[in-house]
Amino acid sequence: MKADDAGNYNLQLSGVQEILVKRLDGVVAASEMLRPSVGNIQQA
């Protein structure tokens, strides 16, 4: 593997990591938004 190939691979890897982190943040945010509504349903 050439040095350039390794650099490109690292760039792709960090890009994938960024996407996964953003997706995880979105899931956490969504679950936090849903949690109060679930609590309201249980109280009703």
Q: What is the pLDDT of residue 34?
A: 84
Conformational region of residue 2, where left means phi above 0, alpha means psi within -120 to 50, and beta covers everything else: beta
Confidence band, pLDDT 50/70/90 cuts, at residue 41: low
- pLDDT at position 5: 84
Q: What length does the chain have?
A: 44
User: Is 60 exceeded by the pLDDT of residue 44?
Assistant: no
pLDDT tens digits, 1-40: 577 887 888 888 899 999 999 999 999 999 888 887 666 6
Would you state the structure tokens that stand for residue 4, as one six-digit string? 């350039």
**pTM exceeds 0.75:** no
